[in-house]
């Protein structure tokens, strides 16, 4: 089934211990779309500026991503510059130019309205909520957010959470949102805010899926996927968005959302994140094949399974 | 087969967000011995003072741990006081009284000499090496160390590493020892120092087993176990030593050390660590049953396996 995703398309300039790259095609919705496109049809809602040209469009086209919902505005595309020189696990933001993103008003093309899956990538919760309310027929809704919105826009974010089936955030964000340093307790508190499932991303340590208690089934309330042990991380940007794309894309590709499907979705999420960080920006996702994805999925199995 | 372990027996006074406990029976060799005792025969080499009485002896006796190698010296047993109030993941040392441990000269009882498995818990590498050299017939030798020895006693530590089959350390220690922040590269560098296997412990994120490359078998060079998602961590002290006890104890209980046995040993290590932190000191290990261990092992399987 098709996924509609709303979020940012951006150009990133990034420096990491592996080098420096100018103006990579990036942004949460770009990473998400590319990762999810290996599993299902993806429709994107975003805004770009005049510097978004045929080369960028071709990347989406090559992955059969529907870009009818990308608005072209006067001015420049959202630009972010960051450095991982001090800490490969946390970007230091050097510059943020919102550009056309400052006036972003998501518009949902009619052709998107039958999307059964909706993903609200990390943007202003006011916009997330607007898109959520405009797609009442979505059968499964997931979303992301970040520390900035948790800290300074919590009331708006709490409204968004009420409309989510699944929230995907990282450790620090989960603890901050719940105000609780124990992750199991924090997860339960977050799920009381709305989502019936929570995916907590641990960076190089993988991710954990929590879901609400089912009576007499305590054993299956969590599931863990590792991250792939990589000899070189070129650029960590977009790992979380790619995880979300692999996770949600795989779910959307399946007929029935059984517990086993959610487990495999966690693995596919981690697989997609592991590819993204191998090169700058979305380079690796642009060149990836489904065969590579399935091969790495098997490596994840060997990495974690007893037999 | 029997394990000989050399290391510290101590009394710990610990304060954590869950409370405060005075003079818990603790020390690396105590945690290790208790954890390993659920799987195989354990023989301990350590030193205690006059404050180690019948109550403490009874704990070892109840787990059929051979204490012929525990020397009783004049003075007090090694005492450590620490706080986890600021950070549950890292102890702040408030007091260390080496006491009788300051003059510790490990002596290996003749009855221990047929131990096929040797574990060198975290003590001065000079002593670790001496014990290693005095047990040339050990078939599998593993050990632990800490940042202090890596930083200030590296030449002595490097000599120990040459005699180890398996080193068990945490993330920070692995990176420090290798001088490399990428864990996969750091693991390879550490294995070039001697050990053919390395277990890196990630605290609440579990642990990774690395082993040297086998040609055409890249897929199986690492194995990951998660940590158990716990709603309350009462006292993190001893989690790593208990992991080592479960890991090495299970290995010693098996006839053939196949790759599958090492995988299950990782799970048992993580299981034992997860029990230890549920109560203060060695309280939980003292009351544990093999049935509880095997039940939690199954939960680990459900937590990680796709099917």
CB-based burial, A46-55: b 16+ in 10 Å, e otherwise: bbbbeebeee
**Chain B: residue whose CA lies nearest to A233:** B182
CA angle at residue A257 from A254 to A262, to 5 degrees? 95
CB contact under 8 A, B303 and A206: no
Selection from A84, A107, A116 nearest residue A12 by Cα? A84
CB contact under 8 A, A263 and B306: yes
Residue B303 is nearest to which of A222, A231, A298, comparing CB atoms? A222
Distance CA B1, CA B36 (A): 11
Distance CA B259, CA B134 (A): 29
CB contact under 8 A, A224 and B303: yes
Give the number of other Cβ atoms within 10 Å of residue A173's Cβ: 25
Q: What pLDDT, on the 0 to 100 scale, is given for residue A215?
A: 55
Distance CA B121, CA B146 (A): 10
What mean pLDDT comes out for the span A230-246?
96
SS3 content of chain A, % helix, strand, coil (to 5): 40, 25, 35
B263 at interface of A, judged by CB pairs closer than 8 A = yes
Tens of pLDDT, residues A51-95 = 999 999 999 999 999 999 999 999 999 999 999 998 888 899 999
B147 at interface of A, judged by CB pairs closer than 8 A = no
CB contact under 8 A, B184 and A224: no
Q: What pLDDT, on the 0 to 100 scale, is given for residue A219?
A: 44
Q: What pLDDT, on the 0 to 100 scale, is given for residue B173?
A: 96
Q: Are A306 and B307 in contact (CB under 8 A)?
A: no
For residue B139, name the pLDDT band (cuts at 50, 70, 90): very high
Tell me which of A107-111, B217-221, B235-239, B261-265 is least confident: B217-221
Determine which of A191, A202, A302 to mutate to test the interface with B (most B C-beta atoms within 10 Å): A302
Residues of chain B neighbouring A219 (CB-CB closer than 8 A): 298-299, 302
Q: Give the three-class secondary structure for B101.
A: helix
Euclidean distance between the first and the last CA atom of chain A, given in angstroms as a whole number: 33
The whole-angstrom distance between residue A137's C-alpha and the CA centroid of its chain comes to 21
Q: Are B257 and B140 in contact (CB under 8 A)?
A: yes
A267 at interface of B, judged by CB pairs closer than 8 A = yes
What mean pLDDT comes out for the span B6-20?
97
Distance CA B241, CA B173 (A): 15
Q: What pLDDT, on the 0 to 100 scale, is given for residue B213?
A: 66
Selection from B264, B204, B212 nearest residue B240 by Cα? B204
Give the number of other Cβ atoms within 10 Å of residue B10's Cβ: 28
Query: Taking the CA of residue B288 as centre, how many other CA atoms within 13 Å lie in the half-sphere pointing to its CB?
Result: 30
Selection from B196, B128, B133 nearest residue B167 by Cα? B196
Give the number of other Cβ atoms within 10 Å of residue A40's Cβ: 18
Residue B307 is nearest to which of A220, A260, A302, comparing CB atoms? A260
Q: Are A304 and A283 in contact (CB under 8 A)?
A: no
Q: What pLDDT, on the 0 to 100 scale, is given for residue A263?
A: 96
Distance CA B255, CA B261 (A): 9
- Predicted confidence (pLDDT) at residue A50 exceeds the cutoff of 60: yes
Query: Taking the CA of residue B300 as centre, how many other CA atoms within 13 Å lie in the half-sphere pointing to its CB?
Result: 30
Beta bridge partners of A13: A81
CB contact under 8 A, B219 and A182: no
CB contact under 8 A, A182 and B304: no
Tens of pLDDT, residues B80-135 = 999 999 888 889 999 999 999 999 999 999 999 999 999 999 999 999 999 999 99
Cα–Cα distances in Å, from B212 out to A118, A260, B218, B285?
44, 33, 10, 33
**Edge-to-edge order in the sheet of strand B78-83:** B19-26, B10-16, B78-83, B92-97
Q: What does pLDDT average to over chain A?
A: 95
Residues of chain A neighbouring B178 (CB-CB closer than 8 A): none
CB-based burial, B93-118: b 16+ in 10 Å, e otherwise: eeeebebbbeebebebeeebeebbbb
CB contact under 8 A, A226 and B226: yes
Selection from A226, A235, A233 nearest residue B184 by Cα? A233
B86 at interface of A, judged by CB pairs closer than 8 A = no
Task: Kindly report each contact of residues B92-98 with a partner whose C-beta sits within 8 Å and lies 24 or more positions away, as own/partner.
Answer: B95/B13
Tens of pLDDT, residues B178-226 = 999 999 999 999 999 999 999 999 999 999 999 986 555 544 589 999 9
**Nearest CA-CA distance, residue A169 and chain B, Å:** 16
Residue A183 is nearest to which of B229, B267, B299, comparing CB atoms? B229
CB contact under 8 A, A303 and B222: yes
**Chain A: residue whose CA lies nearest to B205:** A205
**Nearest CA-CA distance, residue B107 and chain A, Å:** 39
Phi-psi sector, B19: left (phi>0), alpha (psi -120 to 50), beta: left
What mean pLDDT comes out for the span A141-165?
97
Residues 230-259 (A) with a CB less than 8 A from some CB of B = 230-233
pTM: 0.95
Distance CA A265, CA A249 (A): 8
Q: Give the three-class secondary structure for A86.
A: coil
**Nearest CA-CA distance, residue B144 and chain A, Å:** 22
Q: What is the DSSP string of B104-153?
A: ------GGGTT-SEEEE-SS-HHHHHHHHHH-TT-SEEEEE--HHHHHH-
Q: What pLDDT, on the 0 to 100 scale, is given for residue B215?
A: 55
The C-alpha R_g of chain A, in whole angstroms, comes to: 18
Residue B299 is nearest to which of A183, A219, A307, comparing CB atoms? A219
B156 at interface of A, judged by CB pairs closer than 8 A = no
List, in order, residues 6 or more apart from A29 with CB less than 8 Å away: A5, A6, A7, A8, A9, A44, A45, A46, A121, A241
> Percent of chain A beyond pLDDT 70?
97
Give the number of other Cβ atoms within 10 Å of residue B145's Cβ: 24
Beta bridge partners of B201: B170, B207
Q: What is the DSSP letter of B45?
A: E
Distance CA B119, CA B100 (A): 21
Give the number of other Cβ atoms within 10 Å of residue A258's Cβ: 10
The whole-angstrom distance between residue A95's C-alpha and the CA centroid of its chain comes to 22
Query: Taking the CA of residue B301 as centre, how many other CA atoms within 13 Å lie in the half-sphere pointing to its CB?
Result: 12
Q: Are A306 and B301 in contact (CB under 8 A)?
A: yes
Q: What pLDDT, on the 0 to 100 scale, is given for residue B90?
A: 87
Determine which of B17, B180, B205 to mutate to test the interface with A (most A C-beta atoms within 10 Å): B205
The whole-angstrom distance between residue A189's C-alpha and the CA centroid of its chain comes to 22
- Cβ pairs bridging A and B (under 8 Å): 74
CB contact under 8 A, A229 and B184: yes
The alpha helices in chain B, defined as continuous H runs, are 28-36, 54-62, 125-134, 147-152, 154-162, 171-178, 183-191, 239-253, 259-276, 283-287, 290-304
What mean pLDDT comes out for the span B29-49?
98
Beta bridge partners of B223: B209
A216 at interface of B, judged by CB pairs closer than 8 A = no
Q: Is the ipTM of this complex over 0.90?
A: yes
For residue A214, name the pLDDT band (cuts at 50, 70, 90): low
Q: What pLDDT, on the 0 to 100 scale, is given for residue A221?
A: 82
Q: What pLDDT, on the 0 to 100 scale, is given for residue B216?
A: 52
Q: What is the DSSP letter of B301?
A: H
- Determine whether A153 is exposed, middle or buried from the number of CB atoms within 10 Å of its CB (0-12, 13-18, 19+): middle
């Amino acid at each position: 089934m098709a996924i509609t995703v709303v979020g940012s398309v951006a150009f990133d300039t990034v420096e990491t211990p592996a080098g420096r790259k100018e103006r990579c095609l990036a942004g949460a919705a770009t990473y998400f779309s590319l990762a999810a496109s290996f599993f299902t049809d993806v429709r994107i809602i975003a805004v770009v500026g005049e510097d978004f040209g045929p080369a960028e469009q071709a990347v989406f086209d090559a992955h059969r991503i529907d870009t009818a919902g990308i608005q072209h505005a006067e001015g420049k595309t959202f630009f972010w510059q960051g450095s991982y020189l001090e800490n490969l696990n946390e970007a230091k933001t050097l510059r943020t130019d919102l550009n056309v993103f400052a006036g972003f008003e998501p518009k949902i093309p009619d052709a998107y309205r039958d999307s059964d899956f909706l993903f609200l990538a990390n943007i202003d919760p006011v916009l997330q909520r607007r898109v959520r309310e405009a797609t009442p027929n979505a059968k499964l809704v997931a979303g992301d957010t970040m520390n900035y919105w948790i800290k300074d826009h919590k009331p708006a974010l709490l409204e968004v959470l009420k409309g989510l089936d699944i929230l995907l955030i990282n450790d620090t964000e989960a603890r901050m949102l719940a105000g609780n340093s124990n992750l199991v307790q924090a997860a339960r508190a977050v799920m009381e805010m709305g989502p019936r499932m929570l995916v907590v991303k641990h960076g190089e340590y993988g991710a954990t899926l929590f879901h609400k208690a089912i009576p007499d089934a305590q054993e299956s309330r969590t599931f863990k996927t590792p991250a792939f042990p990589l000899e070189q991380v070129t650029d960590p940007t977009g790992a979380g968005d790619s995880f979300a794309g692999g996770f949600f894309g795989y779910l959307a590709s399946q007929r029935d959302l059984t517990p086993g499907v959610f487990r495999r979705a966690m693995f596919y999420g981690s697989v997609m994140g592991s590819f993204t960080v191998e090169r700058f920006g979305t380079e690796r996702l642009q060149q990836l094949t489904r065969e590579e994805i399935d091969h790495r999925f098997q490596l994840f199995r060997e990495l974690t399974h007893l037999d």
